[in-house]
Amino acid sequence: ISQRNMKQQHFDFTFDLEAYEVWLESRLTELEKEIRFLCYQEDRRRQQADKLEFPFAERRPGQQELIDYVAAACKGQQMLLQAPTGLGKTAAIMTPMVQDALKRGVQAFYLTPKNSQHQLAETTLDLYSAQNSKLKGLTLTAKSKICFKPEPLCQPDYCEFARDYHTKMAKHQVAKKLLSKHKMDRKAIETMAKKYEVCPYQLARDVSAFADVIIGDYHYGFAPLGRLETKPSVIDETNKPNLIIDEAHNLFNRINDYYSAELHEGILDSWYPRVQDLPDKFRDKATGLLDDMLRVFDNHSPPQYSREALIELELGEFSSLAKRLSELVTQYLESDVDIDRKDPLLDLQRYWDSFCDVIAIEGEQFFHLYLQYNRSRVLRVSCCDASEAAADCLNEFENVAAFSATLKPFDYYLRLSGFNPQKTVTAEFDSPFAKENRKVLLIPQVSTAYRHREQNFGKITDAIQRLIQIKNGNYIVFFTSFPFLHRVHQLLEVPGYDIFCQKPQLPAGEVKKLLKTLDEKGGRNLILAVQGGVLSEGVDYNGDKLIGAIVVGPGIPNHNLERTCHRDYYEERYGQGFDYAYTYPAMAKVVQAAGRVIRGADEKGLIVLMDQRFVKAPYKDILPRYWYKEAPEELVSLQIIQDIKSFWDQPEKVPAVTQVSGE
C-alpha cells in the first residue's frame, strides 16, 4: 500500500514452508542473542549508576539547587527550566538525568538544535569517563554529512558501503568492536565504517540501542521521518528512557519546520540548465517534467494580482508528478550513468517529495499559501502548531528536562512544544554571577515602532555613541532588521572604533575572524548585528570579547498573511493570538541577544535595552527575573551616563563556589 495515495499493488509469490522455517529459526536465534545482550546492557548500566558523579569538584552558586531540583523531579515528570548562561546547566542537568536513567537500566537522550552544539555534552561525558565511569556515549551525525559517497543513496549497486552491509557487520562483528569504545563520536564511527566498508550512518543507528547516552539534534527525537526509535527496558516496557533538550526555546519552531515546506518557482527554473548534462533520454523527460511542475504555479495563482493569498493544494496533482519522477529516477539508476554529488535528478526528487509529504498531512494548524518573493512565485505549506506530534514524541520518555536561558512565559513554550500541563513542572534559576558585575538599563524614551522609527533614528544613534564612549572596549548592538541596522550605521560617528556590520549571509570563516579580532587586547570594536541571527545566538563571546550589548527594540515579526493566519489560529485555540504570533517570539530574541554579555564568573558587562515597550506588559514580564529585585521598572535610570560611569568604576567581584567533599 502506498503511503502517499493509499493505492494497493498485489504481488504473487510461492510460499516455501521449509525455507521459511529455516529462516525463522535463524532469526529467532539472532533475536534471542540480541535480547540477552540488551539485558546485559541494562545490568551494566545499573552497576554504573553509583559511579557517576557530578564532574567538577566545585559548584557554582545555584548549580546545586538546579541539580537537586532535577533529581527530585525525576518521577515521570516533564520539566521546563529557565537558567542563565554561566550557571553550568549542561552538567547540572545531565548528571541527575543520566543517573536516574542508569539506575533504571535505560538510556538518556541529549538533543540540541544543531550538530555544532554537541560538543558541550560530549565534553561532559569525557569528564564522567575521567572519574572511571564506563558510560558509552554515541553521537549521531546527519546522513548528508557522514555519508562517504557523493550522494547519500543507499542502493547496493551504487554504494559499496551499503552492499552486503548486514553480512559484513556480522562477519567482522563491527557493532561489538565499536561498542568496546566508550566514546562513539563521528570520528570513531567513520574510522570503523571505513575499515570494514559499511555505512557509517546505519552503523550509528544500529549500535544506538546499546549506547547509554545518545547525543544528536532534534531531528532524531521529533522529525516525522528519520526519528530514532526509543528503546524501553526489555524487562519492563513501561520503563522508558530520559530526554534532555538543550536550547529548548528553539524546539517548537524546529518541529513546525519539520511539518512545513515550500516550492519555489525560481528554484525549479534553476534545474533546467542542471538537467542539460544528462543523457538524451533522461534530459528530455526531465525537461518535460519541469515544464509540468512549473504549470502547477499557474494552476494555483490567484485570479487577481496578489503577492500573497490563501489557496488549497490538492495532493493528487503533486503526487502524480511525483510518481512520474520516481519512474524516471528508477530508470536512471538502473542505467550505467555515474552519480555525482548534487545529482540533478535525485536532488529534484528529494525537493518535490519533501513537499508532497507535507501536503499529505491535514489539520487546522496547516495553511496553504501562494506568495511572491522577488518576482518568483512560491507555494508554501505552513504549520504553526505541531504540538500534538511533539507530545507523542515526548511521551516516549520517562522524564524530560528541557532547558534554556529563554523559556518565559512558560505556558507559551509548554503548549506549543507539546508538554503535558498535568505532568510538567517549571522553574527559573538565578544567575550564579555577582550582581555587581552586571549593569542592566532600560531606555524607554526611545520608540522603535515602525511608525515612529524615522524621528527616533537620531536618538538611537546618539545614545549608542555616548554609551560606548564611557568605557573603551568591544560592544555589540542588536537591531530588529538589516534595513534598520544600515540606517543607523549611516548616521553613526564613533572615532577610534572599528565598526563591523553583519551581513544577511555570514560565512563561518568571517565569524571566526571576528572573534579573533575581539580577542585582541585593547580593542575598540563596535559590532552591528540583527536579533535572532548567528551573532545573536550561535556565538559565545567569552572572556573580554564583549563588555556591552545594546538591544534596540523588540524584533516584532513582519506582518504578513502567514503571520496573520498564525495569529488567528493562536487566538482561536489559546486566546492569545497577538502575543503568541508576535510578542513572545520577539522577546525570545531580545533575551538571547542580551545574554551575549557575562559568560563567565570573572566577566563584567553592560546590557542596555532601548524601547518604551520594555517597561510595559507583557514585554517586561518576560525579562529575566535575576535582572531586578522587585520590578523591571527599577532598571530605568534618571541619570544613565552617571550610573554607567559608577558601574565601571566599581571593582569586579567573583562569586564563591561550593567545595564538595569526596569529589
Supply the DSSP symbol for 323.
H
Give, in degrees to the nearest 5, the angle at Cα 215 between 213 and 221: 105
pLDDT tens across 59-96, in order?
888 899 999 999 999 999 999 999 988 788 999 999 99
User: Contact at 8 Å (CB) between 84 and 431?
Assistant: yes
Peptide bond into 224 cis (omega under 30): no
Q: Is 80 exceeded by the pLDDT of residue 5?
A: no
Is the pLDDT score of 235 beyond 90? no
pLDDT at 388: 96
| Nearest-10 crossing angle of helices 387-394, 251-258 | 110
Predicted confidence at residue 110, as pLDDT, reads 97
Q: How far is CA 72 from the centre of its chain?
A: 27
Alpha-carbon distance of 587 to 651, in angstroms, equals: 31
Query: Mean per-residue pLDDT for 539-552?
Result: 90
Q: How confident is the model at residue 363 (pLDDT cuts 50, 70, 90)?
A: very high
How confident is residue 652, by pLDDT bands cut at 50, 70 and 90? confident
Q: What integer is the mean pLDDT of 196-211?
A: 94
Reported pTM: 0.90
C-beta separation of 118 from 139 below 8 A: yes
My answer on whether omega of the bond before 618 falls inside 30° of 0, hence cis, is: yes
Distances (CA, A) of 79 to 132, 414, 540, 659: 29, 9, 26, 27
Distance, CA of 432 to chain centre: 26
Q: What is the mean pLDDT of the chain?
A: 90
Least confident of 155-159, 308-312, 473-477, 572-576: 155-159
Between β-strands 261-264 and 376-383, what pairing exists: parallel, antiparallel or unpaired?
Answer: antiparallel
- Residue 631's Cβ-count burial label (10 Å; 0-12, 13-18, 19+) is exposed
Phi then psi for 605, rounded to 5 degrees?
A: -160, 165
Q: What is the pLDDT of residue 3?
A: 44
pLDDT band at 661 (very low <50, low <70, confident <90, very high): very low
Residue 662: Cβ within 10 Å count? 5
Report d(CA 503, CA 97) in Å as an integer.
Answer: 40
Residue 658 has pLDDT above 70, yes or no: no
What number of other Cβ atoms are within 10 A of residue 112's Cβ?
Answer: 21
- Predicted confidence (pLDDT) per residue in 338-351, tens digit: 777 788 999 999 99
pLDDT of 305 over the 80 cut: no
Q: What is the DSSP letter of 243?
A: E
pLDDT-derived band at 375 (thresholds 50, 70, 90) equals confident
Which of the residue ranges 7-11, 257-261, 408-412 would you say has the lowest mean pLDDT? 7-11
pLDDT-above-70 percentage for the chain? 97
Does the pLDDT at position 51 exceed 70?
Answer: yes
Distance CA 547, CA 522 (A): 12
Q: What is the mean pLDDT of residues 618-629?
A: 93
Torsion angle, alpha carbons of 201, 207, 208, 211, to 10: -140
- Residues 27 and 245: their CA atoms lie apart, in Å, by 36
Contact criterion met (CB below 8 Å) for 141 and 186:
yes
Instruction: Give the C-alpha distances (Å, rounded to integers) separating 429 from 3, 82, 353.
Output: 46, 6, 44
pLDDT band at residue 178 using 50, 70 and 90 as cut-offs: very high
Check residue 131 and give its pLDDT.
Answer: 83
Give the model confidence (pLDDT) of 382-394 as tens digits.
999 999 999 999 9
CB burial of residue 357 (10 Å; 0-12, 13-18, 19+):
middle
How far is 568 from 587, CA to CA, in rounded Å? 20
Nearest to residue 264, comparing CAs of 98, 380, 358?
380
pLDDT at 656: 56
Residue 654's pLDDT is what?
62
Parallel, antiparallel or unpaired: strands 108-112 and 213-217: parallel
> Averaged over 294-308, what is the pLDDT?
87
DSSP 583: I
Distances in Å between the Cα of 233 and the Cα atoms of 6, 170, 176 are 34, 25, 20
Asked if 572 and 422 touch (Cβ cutoff 8 Å), the reply is no
Alpha-carbon distance of 39 to 105, in angstroms, equals 9
Backbone angles phi, psi at 521, to 5 degrees: -65, 140
Of 289-293, 463-467, 651-655, where does mean pLDDT reach its minimum? 651-655
Average pLDDT over residues 496-503: 94
Q: Which residue has the higher pLDDT, 654 or 203?
A: 203
Name the residue type at position 274. Answer: R
Q: Is the pLDDT of residue 606 over 90?
A: yes
Q: What is the C-alpha to C-alpha distance for residues 136 and 208, in angstroms, rounded to an integer?
A: 10
Record the cell numbers describing residue 300, joined without a space. Answer: 494555483
pLDDT band at 7 (very low <50, low <70, confident <90, very high): low
Coil vs helix vs strand at 214: strand
Say yes or no to pLDDT of 257 above 50: yes
Cα maximum dimension of the chain: 91
| 398-429 core/surface letters (b: 16 or more CB in 10 A; e: else) | bbbbbbbbbbbbbbbbbbbbbbeeeebbbbeb
436-481 confidence digits (pLDDT tens):
899 999 999 999 998 898 999 999 999 999 999 999 999 999 999 9
Dihedral (C-alpha) 522, 528, 533, 536: value to the nearest 10 degrees? 40
Of 305-309, 311-315, 396-400, 574-578, minimum mean pLDDT range: 305-309
CA distance 35 to 25: 15
Copy the grid coordinates of residue 142: 546527519
**Higher-scoring residue by pLDDT: 58, 349:** 349
Q: Which residue has the higher pLDDT, 58 or 377?
A: 377
Q: CA-to-CA distance for 663 and 661, rounded, in angstroms?
A: 5
Query: Looking at residue 34, what is its pLDDT?
Result: 83
pLDDT at 655: 59
8 Å CB contact between 444 and 615: yes
